[in-house]
Amino acid sequence: MSKCFISYSRENTQWVDTRLSRILRSLDVDYFIDRNDIPPGVNLPERIKEGIRSSDWFIMVASQDSVGSEWVKAEINFAHTLEHLRNRILMIKIDDCDPTIVVSRLNQRPVSYLDCSVDATEAICSLISLLKRPLPRVQKCDGRWDGHICVCTEKGDAVIDYGAVLTLKATADTILGGSLELITPNDVTTFNGRTMPKSMEFRVHGEMRFDRFLHLHYSAGEGSNMQFGSAIFQLGEMPEDDGISGLFVAYGTYIRRIIHGVGEFKRTNDDNPRGGAVGFEGAQRTGRG
């Protein structure tokens, strides 16, 4: 199920409730809206950013009231820092406003416009068509995956079963980035005569191929303490099979060996926040418009 974040002015609450919310519910699209999804007493800017991060679409209700709202400006500026929302920001114009007041500050990042102030029927049909478009499967890889990686050398003279944490996020329709942490078993202290660290962390980047395979490259360190490699992992074929498994090959300069092995991961429920802080301070000072 897709999820939308709705950015709006309180002056447009009736339009959001009677028009937009009804359309989203009819499409079985979940949505985040501040007055329904933020309980009293929580950190408001952080909860809003969390709602934007966890959404597949960002919808701004553009009106004469919202284009001047500091909250709306902060929300759309934050949405534009998140790569997974690239090409997934919608601006729905509901009156005779000038939305370029907001968009001109966004460094020419793509925004889709729907104009309900001229032809509401056509705009709503376009909205339905956009929201029914299936999400790229690569976005379903976003998050933390826990598992293990079993490593052996080219000669098969040593085997280590590492605990592993793989964290991924989609940065484009088929491109992924993230990190891989390997946790050395307590009973392993050396490998090929070298002292083993308690854990190792790698940078990860790669892409999804054929909507099913992850081709990942990873690296860590430099010079005499460098390790790099590639992996081919396969996503579970069925929705209920929420796992990743596959093969890898690597070279470590610190152990002077080509190593290879298998890895298996299952998704965890840990949150994987994306993006950083963008100024909500001015919005807090002025209050929600």
At 197, is the pLDDT very low, low, confident or very high (cuts 50, 70, 90)? Answer: confident
Nearest to 140 by CA among 277, 49, 241, 218: 241
Distance CA 220, CA 252 (A): 9
Cα separation values, 214 from 56, 182, 232, 268, Å: 21, 19, 6, 18
| Whether the predicted pLDDT of 12 surpasses 70 | yes
- pLDDT for 214-261, tens place per residue? 889 988 876 556 788 899 988 875 444 568 888 888 887 666 778 888
Cα angle value 200/203/208 (rounded, 5°): 125
Strand partners, 162: 149
- Can you give the pLDDT at residue 109? 59
Nearest to 261 by CA among 213, 229, 220: 229
How many CB atoms lie under 10 A from the CB of residue 36?
10
- pLDDT for 156-169, tens place per residue? 666 788 999 999 88
The residues near 267 (Cβ < 8 Å, ≥ 6 apart) are 143, 144, 145, 242, 243
At 274, is the pLDDT very low, low, confident or very high (cuts 50, 70, 90)? Answer: very low
- Can you give the pLDDT at residue 271? 41
**5-29 average pLDDT score:** 90
- pLDDT for 106-143, tens place per residue? 655 567 888 888 778 888 888 887 777 666 666 678 78
**169-179 average pLDDT score:** 78
pTM of the model: 0.53
Distance CA 286, CA 77 (A): 17
Lowest mean pLDDT among 70-84, 204-218, 272-286: 272-286
- pLDDT for 35-70, tens place per residue? 777 777 778 888 899 889 888 889 999 999 998 888
At 279, is the pLDDT very low, low, confident or very high (cuts 50, 70, 90)? Answer: low
Query: What are the DSSP calls for 177-219, one per residue?
Result: EEEEEEE--TT--EETTEEPPSEEEEEEEEEEETTTEEEEEEE
Q: What is the mean pLDDT of the chain?
A: 79
Do residues 79 and 50 make contact, with C-beta atoms less than 8 angstroms apart? no
- Can you give the pLDDT at residue 7? 94
- Can you give the pLDDT at residue 65? 92
- Can you give the pLDDT at residue 272? 37
- Can you give the pLDDT at residue 75? 92
Task: Identify the structural domains of the chain with CATH numbers, from first to last.
Answer: 3-135 (3.40.50.10140), 138-267 (2.40.128.120)
Structure tokens at 46: 């952080």
| Whether the predicted pLDDT of 11 surpasses 90 | yes
Do residues 9 and 72 make contact, with C-beta atoms less than 8 angstroms apart? yes
